[in-house]
Amino acid sequence: MMRHITPIFLLLSLALSCAGGGRDRKDTTPTDLPDWMTNPGADANGFIPERQVRIIPLAKPMQGGGQWMANRANGLKKDYNAQDILEMVADLKPTTLERYFTGAQDMNKQVPVRAGYPPMTVKEFLNKSLEAAAPGCEIVPKLNLDWLANPKDSVFFWKCAEEIRTYDLIRPITNINLDCWDRYCKQTMTSEDGRNEMFKRLRKLGYTKIGVNMTGYIRNNENIDYCDISINKETWRVQKESIEKCHSFPNIKNVYLYIDYPGMTETFMSKDPDEQARIYYEEIYPFQRKYNFNYVYAIIQDFFAPGEIRTSENGPYGGKTLYDISKELLFKPYEK
């Protein structure tokens, strides 16, 4: 739950967290936030607004950790550095940095920085990210359940899970997101007792929140705290029945929607930017409160970067980038 955010705090937070990086990007974060956003509480249908943001600057843990993903090598139009990412975090003030990194990372490895800035390690980058985000923001790493499919990778899975809990950050990581739930249940661990043991082991390590990606396979386990599902890849609309099914499980506290990756994201990107914007405005945002879910806005995910996608100047969205629209909707109040 977000705490009350004052204008003074926002300005100080931006100045301190980016260590001067804000000079190249004007902070346009709204400071006149309504009470429902600064002090959110569940309304009649249980909806609690969150600012869920997916930025994936670090991944590929099997290559040693500290592998920077926000660059041309992964399909983006430019190479992004730590200051670029921190400025986005300061601008969007997320309550959750969802899947911010994958697996264990080398905390001492350096991340790319803007010319003229001092070197920065992965640990420093993660701490600055927490400082730049909303008060109480959580960094949520991803672990891949496919790694449990064979003995060698299973050892790696648990090494990552254990190591992440040892990171000496200003806010310890206690929330983990598990991917590939469908294959794990259907192929790797078909026994419910076996799945329970996996969750119990994660709890024993100190993870207090555990989420799974249920896209395409909504199967509950009493140890799951929240789940992710995709919007419909044919109609580009939210799937009311799937959301309701997830909420029918008493242990599921939150449901998060996103556009599945990579195939569905590629299809989404092939659409005209005005149509992409229409989907955000008309097919996703209006239904969050109605159906009680929060949409996860992808900002940097491999080849997908909304800041690189611009609507038509003379169209209904006036040349806004999809980043501009994401930010607008992240802060837009819901009518009572």
Q: 7-331 architecture in CATH?
A: Alpha-Beta Barrel (3.20)
Q: How confident is the model at residue 65, as a pLDDT?
A: 77
Q: Is 4 exposed, middle or buried (0-12, 13-18, 19+ CB in 10 A)?
A: exposed
Domain ranges in the chain are 7-331
Weakly modelled stretches of the chain, pLDDT under 50: 1-34, 36-37, 39
What b/e sequence results for 299-321 when a residue is b if at least 16 CB atoms lie within 10 Å of its CB, and e otherwise? bbbbbbbbbebbbeeeeebeebb
Element of type H or E holding 192: helix 192-205
295 within 8 A of 268, measured Cβ to Cβ = no
Q: How confident is the model at residue 96, as a pLDDT?
A: 97
In the three-class reduction of DSSP (H, G, I as helix; E, B as strand; rest coil), residue 62 is classed as helix
Q: How confident is the model at residue 40, as a pLDDT?
A: 52
In terms of pTM, does the model score above 0.85?
Answer: yes
Terminal alpha carbon distance of the chain:
20
Residue whose entry in the numeric block shows the structure tokens 């001492």: 108
